[in-house]
Copies of this chain bind each other. A is one copy, B any other.
């Protein structure tokens, strides 16, 4: 079965992740598929439209997974940890897609009309709300939680996209060791950043 359109998107994710939008030719995308590049153009119209569909494909999964993770809520603090760790694991599983999204962040050129708006906006709002709820004393509203939210997001994504580089830099063993510890240390970072004795006193720090 596996219809050709899905094959194109799957291959496109791989190649866009590896070489970026500009570094990717449609010829390269179809190179390992049993189709010509005109078959791709037949389905998607243009390289940009294909890219747009790829972004949509990814962001839909992302939003879906976020909602699933958040629905496991027990209390706000546990909810935050569950959500972020789920996000971390998902990013590891779909590393190519994570890389692709980070490229989109860097490129800063609206290739697919709305592109960033949907996935990032909803994502950020959802997460920063969760962060704010985990420590309402420190964060009266989601906006106040934005910096910490972004810090945690960065701590997650930056590591995930660095896998090949770190593996090459540290060697396979040292990387494996680091990755083994990473999730636990991430949990610790989350817990400590939203739950600290100094938050009990209502005085402004420094």
Contacts and interface: CB of A to CB of B under 8 A. Distances in A.
Interface of A: 18-24, 99, 102-103, 105-108, 116-117, 120-121, 124, 143-144, 146-148, 150-159, 161-162, 164-165, 168-169, 174, 177-178, 181-182, 184-189, 192-193, 196-197, 205-206
Contacts of A143: 174, 177-178
18 contacts: A18-B107, A20-B22, A22-B24, A108-B164, A120-B169, A143-B174, A146-B181, A147-B178, A147-B182, A150-B155, A150-B159, A151-B155, A154-B156, A155-B155, A155-B158, A188-B193, A192-B192, A193-B193
Contacts of A19: 22, 107
Contacts of A157: 154, 158
Question: Which one of A121, A184, A188 has the greatest number of beta carbons of chain B within 10 Å?
Answer: A188
Given A116-B168, A147-B159, A154-B155, 11 more contacts: A22-B22, A22-B23, A105-B165, A116-B165, A121-B169, A146-B181, A150-B158, A151-B185, A154-B158, A184-B206, A189-B189
Contacts of A205: 188
B18 A21 contact: no
Contact of A148 (B21, B153, B174, B189): B189
Nearest to A185: B147
Contacts of A153: 158
A150 B165 CA distance: 13
A196 B196 contact: yes
